């Protein structure tokens, strides 16, 4: 009897050891920086094209830059404002120049067409071809368009609008109380129409469509919840809470493994890999990043690319 319970306890201990080990062990041990051009900052996204080239990053001075490898570094790829000049804008951090320079915040590839969809805090939703250059505005008039994800099968574009009342310039104002007027929107490229899927979101982050295209995950920064909006099935058109996170979730991205996601969490900066049952499979501390905020964690070729509005580099964690 005694030996039996000892055996059971030992088995539980071994099982716990492996379970916790897999959740907490950090196998992203190496850290590198992809440094932006001089005085450029704020890479809030890090996307890769169909050929695996990139990352493409959206930066504070209004450009989208493309990483061309360590010898060349980042080069100009695209921009969002028709009135942008390199002389006035390159290297600026001044959000008051946003209406002239633009401030792209997120980008997502349609892998079928190679079109790149961009959300800009001043210019709304835009699209640019794989050769880059000046992007074309598809939908404007937003207060603070934030995240974007293209579902490449239908071409539908899912985007988030952070607020109906404040814009990106208000964020630095002391005492700003993020309200609950965030929305999840859909842009249909066939009809060119935008529809509201969810409203009254609290501090909404960047959305992502599940790899089986059944739902969209939408992080709520303030309530620390990740909402799930159903695109298919009996609950189509409704939402539920996918998971509650201990810190504020900023962006959710599909992971390399089908059905899994990376959630970028702030305070402290961490990357969480979760599966479709909202089980945390891995926690990566992003402390070398030396920043209180992390915007995005994007997995590519066994590396985790981490972007933040507060850095002048993209962090790369490798195993």
Ligand X SMILES: *[C@@H]1O[C@H](CO)[C@@H](O)[C@H](O)[C@H]1NC(C)=O
Q: Are 107 and 56 in contact (CB under 8 A)?
A: yes
Q: What residue ranges bind ligand X (CB under 6 A)?
A: 82-83, 99, 259, 275-277, 279
Residue 146: closest CA among 111, 181, 114: 181
Taking the complex as a whole, how short is the minimal distance between the CB of residue 260 and ligand X, in angstroms?
8
Other beta carbons within 10 Å of 72: 9
Q: Are 94 and 41 in contact (CB under 8 A)?
A: no
Residue 191: closest CA among 146, 238, 157: 157
Taking the complex as a whole, how short is the minimal distance between the CB of residue 278 and ligand X, in angstroms?
8
- Give dist(CA 44, CA 75) in Å, integer: 17
Taking the complex as a whole, how short is the minimal distance between the CB of residue 316 and ligand X, in angstroms?
27
Q: Which residue(s) pair with 12 in the sheet?
A: none
Q: What is the DSSP string of 187-202?
A: EETTTTEEEEEEEEES
Q: Which residue(s) pair with 127 in the sheet?
A: 117, 136
Taking the complex as a whole, how short is the minimal distance between the CB of residue 243 and ligand X, in angstroms?
12
Taking the complex as a whole, how short is the minimal distance between the CB of residue 277 and ligand X, in angstroms?
4
Residue 164 belongs to what H/E stretch? Answer: none
Closer of 64 and 294 to ligand X (Cβ): 64
Closer of 82 and 129 to ligand X (Cβ): 82
Closer of 66 and 228 to ligand X (Cβ): 228
Closer of 210 and 251 to ligand X (Cβ): 210
Closer of 242 and 289 to ligand X (Cβ): 242
């Amino acid at each position: 009897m005694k030996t039996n319970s000892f055996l059971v306890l030992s088995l539980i201990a071994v099982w716990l050891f492996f379970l916790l080990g897999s959740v907490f062990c950090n196998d992203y041990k190496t850290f590198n920086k992809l440094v932006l051009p001089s005085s450029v900052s704020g890479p809030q996204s890090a996307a890769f094209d169909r050929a695996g080239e990139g990352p493409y990053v959206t930066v504070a001075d209004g450009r989208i830059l493309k990483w061309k490898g360590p010898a060349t570094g980042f080069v100009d790829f695209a921009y969002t404002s028709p009135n942008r000049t390199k002389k006035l804008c390159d290297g600026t951090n001044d959000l008051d120049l946003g209406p002239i320079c633009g401030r792209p915040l997120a980008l997502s590839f349609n892998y079928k067409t190679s079109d790149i969809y961009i959300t800009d805090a001043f210019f709304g939703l835009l699209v640019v071809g794989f050769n880059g250059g000046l992007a074309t505005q598809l939908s404007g008039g937003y207060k603070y368009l934030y995240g974007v994800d293209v579902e490449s099968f239908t071409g539908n574009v899912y985007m988030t609008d952070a607020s109906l009342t404040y814009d990106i310039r208000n964020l630095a104002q002391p005492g700003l109380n993020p309200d609950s007027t965030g929305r999840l929107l859909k842009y249909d490229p066939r009809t060119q129409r935008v529809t509201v899927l969810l409203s009254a979101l609290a501090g909404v982050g960047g959305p992502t469509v599940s790899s089986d295209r059944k739902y969209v995950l939408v992080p709520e920064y303030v309530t620390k919840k990740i909402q799930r909006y159903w695109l298919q099935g009996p609950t189509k058109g409704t939402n539920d809470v996918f998971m509650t996170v201990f810190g504020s979730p900023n962006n959710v991205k599909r992971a390399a493994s089908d059905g899994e996601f990376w959630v970028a969490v702030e305070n402290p900066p961490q990357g969480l890999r979760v599966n479709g049952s909202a089980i945390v499979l891995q926690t990566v501390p992003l402390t070398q990043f030396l920043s209180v905020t992390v915007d995005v964690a994007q997995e590519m070729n066994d590396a985790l690319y981490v972007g933040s509005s507060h850095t002048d580099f993209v962090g790369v964690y490798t195993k």
